[in-house]
Structures are given as C-alpha cells and as structure tokens.
Amino acid sequence: MVATTLLASFVALGATALWPQVNALPPSNQSLDVLLPVDTRNVDYSAPACTITLMENYTFGYSYNTPYQGPYAAPPCANDVDYSLAFLRFQANVDPGRQFDRLVAVWVDSLELLRSTTQEPNRFTGPHWEVFKDISHYRKIFAKGGNVTVSLDNIVNTNYTSSFHVTVKVEFYKEINKACGHLKTARRVPALPDVIVPISNKASAYSWFNVQPNTLGQNFNAVTLPQNLESLHLELFISHHGCDEFHYINPPDAYKAAVGTKCGGGAFREIQIFIDGALVSAVWPFPLIYTGGLSPALWRPIVATGAFEAPTYLVDLTPFLALVVDGKSHNISFGIDYGLDYWPTTGNLLAYLDKNGNVTQATIDSKVLDAHVVPTVTTTGDAPNFTVTTTASRQILVSSTIKTSKGTREYGIKQTFGYKNTQVYSHNADDVTFDQRTTVETTTFVKFE
C-alpha cells in the first residue's frame, strides 16, 4: 500500500528544519516520532531541578484490564509560582520478541495528559523511545499530589512474548524573565486556565469513553461550571481502533466483499461535541497509523506522525457560554458520526474566569451548525478494480454577546472544513493506493463595545 498524508509531510519537514543537524544516525534500537520540537527556549536551566515521578520502570506483562494505578506526591516546587513550565516525559522500551502495537494513555486524577501507542519489537531488537510533551497549562493540577493511571493493555503468552517497561515523570522549570527580551514561549492555549474539569469515564479504571454510534447520549459528565466564566475551551483526546483503525481506507459497504474486508462504512469520520444533547462543535480527526499498520517495516526507526504522541484538538466553546453560566448542571458528551466501533475519547475543560465579576451574561446571537454532514461518494470502474472518491464539507458559524466586568464583547467563530479521500484499487484489489486531505480553517472574531 502507498500512503500519502499532506499534514504528516508538513510536520516532518517542519521538524527537520528546526532540529539541529547531526552527523550520526540514532541507535538501531531507538524509535522516533518526528514532530515539531517542544519550545524550551525560555527554560531557566540554572534554577534547581524540580521533578516528580508518576511511575518508575513499571512492567506491563499480561496487563489487560489492569492499568497501573498509584499515588504521587506534590513536587517540591509546588508553591513556587515561578516554576510555571511543566513537561511530561514518557520513556518506554519493549523486550525483543513478538508483540503487537498497544494503546497507551496517562491520566492524573481523571485528566488525560497523553494518548500514545507502542513500538513493535522483533526477535533481535527491543526498541526504546521517549515522548517529551509540554503540559504547562496543567501545571496547577500537580500542586497537592494525587493519583495517576497509566493504561497499556498487553498480552504475554506463547505467541506474544514481549513486555513493556515504562517510566513517566513530570519536570518543572522556571521560565526566563520575559522582561529581559526573551521570546514568548509558544503555548497551545492563550493563557493558563483558572479551572480544569475532566470529561471522562468515572465508572471505569480507564477514564476514556468508548465512543461508538450506539453510545450517543451515554458518554457524558454532568458539570456545573462557575457563573463568572470569561471563556471556555476543551482539549479533546481521541484515537481510532477496531474496524476504524484504518477508516481512511475503508471502502463503502457495497464494496466490502469485492476487496475482501469486513470493515466498511467508507472513509469519512466526524467527532462531535454536545452540551445537553445540542451539537456545539465538530472535529475531523487526523489519520493515525500505528507501528503495526500497513507495513510495520515502514515505522522502524521513524514511526508515523502521531503514533507516539497522538494529536489533541483544542475546541473553543466560548460562543456557547450562554448554555453553561446559569449555575446549573450540564451534560458534556461526545459522539462519532459514521463510526463503526472503538473511539476512546476524553476531554479536559479549560475554564477562564472573570475574576472581578460574579455572573457572566451571555447570549447566542446566531448559529450555523448542521447536525449531520452528508459526504459525496463517487466510484469509477468495476470492482475489484475501481476508484472511490469521498468528499465532504462543513461550515460552523456562531456569534455571541458576552458581558463581564470588563465590558461587553461580541465573540464569534467561523470554521470551514474540507475533506477529500481517494482510494484506488487495482490488480483485483491486491494493490490499494489512497490519498486523504483534510483542511480546517478557523477564524475567531472579537469586537468590544
């Protein structure tokens, strides 16, 4: 199979340009996820080190349905506000042998911090790898200590012989004084949130919801948010598995038998976010290829983009403040449109408060947000030698008025989505070439009265 992904190529090129040139290749047992590097330009390395260990050299042998769970202590710098930078360091290695790629997640008190998958070994080599991730916007959750959960469902028997060994730490650093003329640290969020609320499965040791088409309305948390909200975002964690692991090459149902697969439904998928059952946003997911995907030899030593650090999605819910500032409980839930099965999903609400106000007044003035996208599917040729092209588009346009102690502002979002997936089946469907391109253009507009 030949896979071309525009975003993967862009990220890889960007990372190559920013990383320093080296003359030596990495060791043969080291695996890499080529991403844009974490911004550490403003780290003050002269300050004393401050690190906590969430889990140390833990072995995941036969670990199905038994995630690691344990306490962690607050960092020694917990009360020092100058230690404003926080980085998650996930280190893993797998024994030589035979093993599949496995799904990984790290939660602290039901807040997900990392979604990942593992590398596959061979009988001679046990790869090792590392994820280094900026989690500074979650700095405050570590202040008092708490509980950590790390899931890595693994099987060890006569066929699958390799165990995984994992260490997870959080490193805290001081930030160099910006007044000294240093560059501003690049962050995913506009500022550090005042309140962080997990939207996760409290009834399971695994904090994700298993989002499927038949679970719509069941994957929710009842949340009461402060009434003095100024803005609200959601960081969404997702990955796709089962018959949706390769959804980007799933044929339409009518062609499943012709190409010899049990997984159909076409290629298009949409993650949906609801407040009290009303659709408020949508995400078109980046296609992940895990280390056992397509051809495992492609992913040694460099894995496909996102295999070790799956991308998260920052969703701006500020235009919908009117739905949640009444002091009442509201259900935040997730859905998957056109999905077949396993989409483990969680979210972290990032709330920003009007510290000088008591109750925010907000209205939704207009909304363009279709409940359902209908993709267009065209085919040419006769199965099993044929081409199928799927296209889709969506526009989200929401405007609101928000009144806080700072005054009144109009706040709106315009998003334009575009999608095209082409699958070419040849040589009686023994050869498959696919190309998928997704674009999402987001414009935020703010007007103060």
- Same-domain pairing of 448 and 352: yes
Tell me if 240 sits within 8 A of 342, measured CB to CB: yes
DSSP string across 347-403 = EEEEEEE-TT-S--EEEEEEEE--S----EEEEEEETTEEEEEEEEEEEEEEEEEEE
Is residue 20 included in any domain, yes or no?
no
Instruction: Summarize pLDDT for 248-279 with one digit per residue, the tens.
Output: 999 999 999 999 999 999 999 999 999 999 99
* Regions of the chain with pLDDT less than 50: 1-20
CATH number at residue 104: 2.60.120.230
Q: Which domain holds residue 53?
A: 31-187
Q: Residue-wise over 31-45: b if at least 16 C-beta within 10 A, else e?
A: bebbbeeebeebbee
The CA distance from 435 to 8, in Å, is: 12
Is there a single domain that holds both residue 171 and residue 277?
no
- Nearest residue to 162 (alpha-carbon basis) of 206, 90, 242, 101: 101
Could you tell me if 297 and 415 lie in one domain? yes
Residue 327 dihedral angles phi and psi, to the nearest 5°: 80, 5
Q: Same structural domain for residues 179 and 236?
A: no
What is the distance, to the nearest Å, from the Cα of residue 226 to the centroid of all Cα atoms in its chain?
26
Q: Measured between alpha carbons, how far is 286 from 307 in angstroms, rounded to an integer?
A: 11
Q: Among 187, 212, 230, which residue terminates a domain?
A: 187
Best CA proximity match to 107, nearest among 439, 300, 340, 347: 347
Distance separating alpha carbons of residues 151 and 370, to the nearest angstrom: 36
Establish if 3 belongs to a structural domain: no
Q: Are residues 175 and 199 in the same domain?
A: no
Indicate if 213 and 82 belong to the same structural domain: no
In order, the DSSP letters of 218-269 are: TSEEEE---TTEEEEEEEEEE---GGGTTGGGPPPGGGHHHHT-S--S-S--
* Closest by Cα among 165, 62, 156 to 118: 165
Q: State how far the alpha carbon of 238 is from the alpha carbons of 105, 112, 116, in Å.
A: 10, 10, 10
Q: Is residue 45 one of the residues assigned to a domain?
A: yes
Indicate the residue among 164, 187, 210 that finishes a domain: 187
pLDDT in tens, 170-203: 999 999 875 555 566 667 787 899 999 999 999 9
What torsion, rounded to 10 degrees, do the Cα atoms 212, 292, 417, 311 define? 90
Q: How far apart are CA 70 and CA 48, in angstroms?
A: 26
Instruction: Note whether 197 and 210 are same-domain residues.
Output: yes
Strand locations in 118-153, DSSP E? 128-134, 146-152
The reply to whether 139 and 223 lie within a common domain is no
Tell me, yes or no, whether 169 and 201 share the same domain. Answer: no
Distance of alpha carbon 396 from alpha carbon 416, whole angstroms: 7
Tally the domains of the chain. 2
Task: Flag whether 44 is in a domain.
Answer: yes
